[in-house]
Structure 1
Amino acid sequence: MTSPDSEDQLDPAAERVLRKMRGFAAFSGLLMGFGFLAVFGAIGYRVVVGWKSKPAEITGTIRLPEGAQVRSAMVSGDLIAVTVERAGVVETHFFDVATRAPRGVLTFASEH
């Protein structure tokens, strides 16, 4: 009859496989932990940076062509886009945020 301790023993090949599997599981858990830390660290950084940033104050005057009626205005990055209608033609004028200098005009025309 065999003792209960001998039944619990694995053969050496199975023991090596079991040790390798435990090592892989530990490595996988460690890697996943670092991944969670990286994700939550990035989220925390963005939240903190978001609290510190404040909207830019934009003041000043932009000169538009005579007779132009402003339809919309938008700030994006370092540009101000002002869409105007003048004599039935729709145009978007682009200006530099810092200097208010003109950067270009985009005219819209319908196809015939």
Structure 2
Amino acid sequence: MTDTVLPEPTPEQAQLFARVRRLMLIAGLTTALAISAVLIAIGYRLFHEQGSAAATDFTAVLPKSAKIVATAATGDRLVVTLDVGGMTEIHTFDARTLKPVGRLRFSSEP
């Protein structure tokens, strides 16, 4: 059998090979960093998820002669519009805990 003998690379070729190795190392490290960042983000979302709130029974006490006019829900708030003796009130609750967050009253000018 005949062995093929590879000639020694010239200094320019050796320099080119070193540059290609360095660029490949940089590209590999960048790819590994990007993949690890994606995996960390996925893991964070899986293990730090808020989850759904447990079902709770809640009784809100309304003022006398109050009528519920409208309700609305967003991601974290529950809004109830009331008509209390001709005046409009908006009550806001936290959707997860159902605790009152705020109240806004409207009245007519005399």
Residue aligning to 1:81: 79
CA distance in 2, matches of 1:41, 1:29: 18
RMSD, aligned α-carbons: 3.5
Relative to the length of structure 1, the TM-score reads 0.58
Larger proportion of helix: 1
Kindly indicate whether the alpha-carbon contact (under 8 Å) linking 1:93 and 1:104 is maintained by their aligned counterparts in 2: yes
Distance 1:101 1:41, change over 3 A: closer
Stretch moving more, 66-75 or 82-91: 82-91
Q: 1:16-61 deviations in whole A, cap 9, x for unaligned?
A: 13212212212211221221122023213323444x8342434322
Relative to the length of structure 2, the TM-score reads 0.58
Kindly indicate whether the alpha-carbon contact (under 8 Å) linking 1:62 and 1:100 is maintained by their aligned counterparts in 2: no
- After the TM superposition, list the runs of 4 or more consecutive aligned residues in structure 1 that deviate by more than 3 angstroms: 83-92, 95-102
| Structure 2 residue ranges without an equivalent (≥5) | none
Q: CA deviation at 1:99?
A: 7.3
CA distance in 1, matches of 2:101, 2:6: 88
**Kindly, what percent of the aligned residue pairs are identical?**
24
Task: Give the count of matched residue pairs.
Answer: 100
Letter matched to residue 42 of structure 1: A
